[in-house]
Structure formats: C-alpha cells, structure tokens
Amino acid sequence: MTAPIRAAIAELEAAFPRERLTLDREKLEAYGRDESDLGTFPPDLAVAVESAEEVRTIFAVASRHRVPVIPVAARSGKSGGVLALSGGIAVSLERMNRILEISPEDLVARVQPGVVTGVLQAEVEKHGLFYPPDPNSLEMCTLGGNVAENAGGPRALKYGVTREYVLGLTAVIPTGEIVRVGKRSIKGVAGYDLTALLVGSEGTLAVVTEITLKLLPRPRHVSTALVVFGSVAAAARAVTKVLTAGILPRCLELLDDISLAAAAKTSPYKFPAGAGAALLVETDGNDEEGTFGEIVRLAEVVQEDAQGEVIVAQNESQRRDIWETRRYLSVNLKALHPMKLSEDIAVPRSRIPEMVERAKAVGARLGLVVATYGHAGDGNLHCNVLFDRAEERPRVDEAVGEILRIAVDLGGTITGEHGVGLAKRDFLEYEQGAEVVALERRLKAVFDPLGILNPGKMFPPA
C-alpha cells in the first residue's frame, strides 16, 4: 500500500462510521471482480456511501492524495468497469437502494443507484406501470450500473435502451460539484444533454446518486412464437420482412445453428433436421386480440422462409416452453465446451448473416467454435467463443479481436450493450478514430482533471 493510499484511508476512517468501511482483504477481493472474466483487481478500501455529499467527501480526499476512485454496485458488468486496476477507493452504492418515488400520474420514478433493476420493475408493476429495459442480469444488476453502461436487453427492439428512460440525474463530479442534470418533464432541450453524456459513461465522468426514470403503462398482453429456419440468412431475411411489414415485436431473438443445437438438448421442442437458425419472437400490447393477431400476422410473413410450422404459444405454459429454448442456452453451450467468452457486437441489420458467417470462419481458422445468438431486431449479437482449456486463451483473444474488427468493418460497433471498460479499451480507436478518442479524453478531463475517477477504463492509459 502506497503512502498516499494510507493517508487517504486515514482521512476516510475519520470521516465515516467504521461499519461503512471495508478493509478486509477477502471482502475487498469481491469488490475487485465482475462478470467479465478479466481477473480480480481489489481496491485498497471500499466505502459504502449513503449520499451525494459523502461521495463529494471521498472525491476531496482522493483529489488531495491523487488516488483512484471506482464506483461499484452489483458487479454484474461484463466489461471490467469496476476492476480497481491500480487499487484505490471503491465507492460502493449498495446502501443507496431506495425507491424514492413512483408517480403514476407523471409516469416517473425516482430511485437511488443501488436499486436492483428487477426490484424496481416488480414495484412499478404493482401500479400497472412498466420499466422496459431488461438486461439479462436484471435480478442482480442495479439501475446505477444500468445507467453507467446504458444497458439494453431483448426488449430494446421495441422499447429502446436505458438512455431512453433516464430523464434526469443527480451526480457528483470529481471536482466536487453535485449537479442535477436533465428534467422531470418528458420533453426538454435546455442546455447540453448532459444526462445523455453521463448515461453510458461507464463511471468515468461522475458518480450518479439519484436517477429520474420515465415509466410506461404496462402492456397487458404478450404473445410468443418460435420459428425455425434453414440458415441464419433465411432468419435474417425474415427479420427484415417482419419489420418492413410494420410489425414491431418487443423482441426478436436469434439463435444460430450451434446455439440451436445446444438449445435442442433441453428444449421441449424437436427441431426439424437441417435446422440452421431460430427466432424467438414476442409481441405485446393492451388488446389481447390485437397482440395475438400481430403474432399471427408475423407468422404469415415469416412462413415462406421458415422450416416447418411456426410455433405460436396458445397459453402461458406453451410460452414458458418456448423460453426454455433460450433460457438454458448459456448453460448448454458450456456443456459443449467448458469455457466461453461472450462478445457483444452490433451491426446494421442487413449485415447479420455476413457477421455470423465471418465470426464462425474466424473460429474455424483458429480451431475454435463460435456460437452466435442475440437481439436480431437491432443487430446486437453475442458471438460466443467456446473453448476447453485456459491455455487456449491467447487464440480466443485473437478471435475476439478479429470479431470486433469485422463488426466495425461492417458498419457496426465493438459493443452493443456491455460497454468498453477494460475489456475493449484497445479497440475503441479502431471504431471511433484517433480524433474522436482524443476529443473524448478532453471531455473526460473537464469532469475529472486529475484523472482520479475510474482510471484505465474506456481508454487505454495515455
């Protein structure tokens, strides 16, 4: 432990009640890990804050001693955003987990950043309301983390990502200001859109301490269908036909042949021989007939590209059966190969077949299996590189690098919803170019002139 860290810890011990500080080595290890598989980088200290003012205190101490500050909540991120690369102070938001307000009249919720996404969803549903973003980890991830990463999920196709629901934020910036940005009204264009700038900034510009979210009325009916295709190309064709027919499902989940073969192991459905891809589709709405009618219309539109009959769930139990096909996919893939690195790219919709093919070819060339599934409606694909032994990791990293570059070359992005973090910081410039990255670094310096907030994330060290 360096002298500045020791001095900072001493000051924070004086400023905070003892039970809010974590200094225990083992517990700190847990603060230095997430779902990224990038290793463990523990902070030197974790402070469980309860207010914006307390975050400001931490920034003051950290600025004085030039030590890193890393915001941390559920640690369910996939890009290494919470790893304390060079130690420092973890600002834990776990105690700031109160839902401050749910207003059915304004269709607005105000929450602290440590509220678990699924908890808010359950709570607003009691009022007949709906908070759409549904990252896979919604039972454990927090809204603060969702804001940091601009989290998506399957329903993003119809409902958009986290950014579309954040009306306003209270945030503490490293220079010590507590700022309220955005609004409570649905519309508003005063000043620069600092809210949008903070959403997705991956905890590198500010620590968010309160979030004002837009809610929707809860759609009362959902219809679900499963469609099997001979190839990803046929499935992608069907996706385009569905969307240009003016049908906007709430999700359009794609499985490629390997994913489908893995899913088949536990799916209640028998897929026809030659099944090369599948789409899992849901429509929703307030009118039961209309919602079911839309999925029937969708089934008609995709039928000519499909293999066999479109399976439309006729009741809740059939709906669950269809989701089983998707739910155990990750587990089933791991049964094929014990290790897996899941990538998160997005491409223009028309490039999906080419992306899937080329990712597979990259794997083949390197002796690795690549299974792709994801949110076909918005082109956000998870390319899973499967492998068996840790020693294969260098080849896996090579494959991942190539996959990211292909996504960019096809007009897409290195990350559709998981963020850059540590995982992809070396690829940001390939996507954005040196001038944009330089501009982003200058913007970061406005918020964080000393470079103490979450250093080493999003950008490679200068």
Which 82-121 residues touch a second copy, going by CB under 8 A?
Answer: 103-108
Q: Does 281 participate in binding a second copy (rule CB under 8 A)?
A: no
* 226-245 positions binding a second copy, by CB under 8 A: 240, 243-245
The 3-class secondary structure across 267-287, one letter per residue, is: CCCCCCCCCCEEEEEEEEECC
Pick the piece of the chain touching a second copy (CB under 8 A) from 82-90, 93-101, 284-292, 391-399.
Answer: 284-292
Q: Which is nearer to a second copy, 257 or 417 (CB)?
A: 417
Question: Could you tell me the smallest distance in angstroms from the CB atom of residue 436 to a second copy?
Answer: 5
419: left (phi over 0), alpha (psi -120 to 50) or beta: left
* 321-380 positions binding a second copy, by CB under 8 A: 346-350, 375, 377-380
Residue 185: Cβ-neighbour burial (10 angstroms; 0-12, 13-18, 19+): exposed
Q: How far apart are CA 211 and CA 214, in angstroms?
A: 10
Among 33, 180, 395, 405, binds a second copy (CB under 8 A): 180
Sign of the Cα pseudo-torsion (195, 199, 186, 113, in order): negative
Among 185, 268, 272, 338, binds a second copy (CB under 8 A): 185
Q: Does 460 participate in binding a second copy (rule CB under 8 A)?
A: no
Q: How far apart are CA 364 and CA 320, in angstroms?
A: 34
* 246-265 positions binding a second copy, by CB under 8 A: 246-248
* 380-409 positions binding a second copy, by CB under 8 A: 380
The most distant pair of C-alpha atoms in the chain lies apart, rounded to whole Å, by 71
Question: Could you tell me the smallest distance in angstroms from the CB atom of residue 47 to a second copy?
Answer: 24
456: left (phi over 0), alpha (psi -120 to 50) or beta: left
Whether 221 and 211 have beta carbons less than 8 Å apart is answered as no
* 143-162 positions binding a second copy, by CB under 8 A: 149-150, 152, 156, 160-161
Pick the piece of the chain touching a second copy (CB under 8 A) from 40-48, 87-95, 263-271, 290-298.
Answer: 290-298
* 293-312 positions binding a second copy, by CB under 8 A: 293-294, 297
Question: Could you tell me the smallest distance in angstroms from the CB atom of residue 380 to a second copy?
Answer: 5
Among 219, 230, 401, 451, binds a second copy (CB under 8 A): 219
Question: Could you tell me the smallest distance in angstroms from the CB atom of residue 266 to a second copy?
Answer: 28
Q: Does 8 participate in binding a second copy (rule CB under 8 A)?
A: no
Tokens 């999925």, residue located? 295
Q: How far apart are CA 365 and CA 387, in angstroms?
A: 14
> Of 195, 328, 321, nearest to 269 (Cα)?
321
Among 23, 39, 128, 274, binds a second copy (CB under 8 A): 128
Q: How far apart are CA 75 and CA 33, in angstroms?
A: 7
> Of 313, 335, 319, 314, nearest to 264 (Cα)?
335
Q: How many residues belong to the site for a second copy (CB under 8 A)?
A: 93
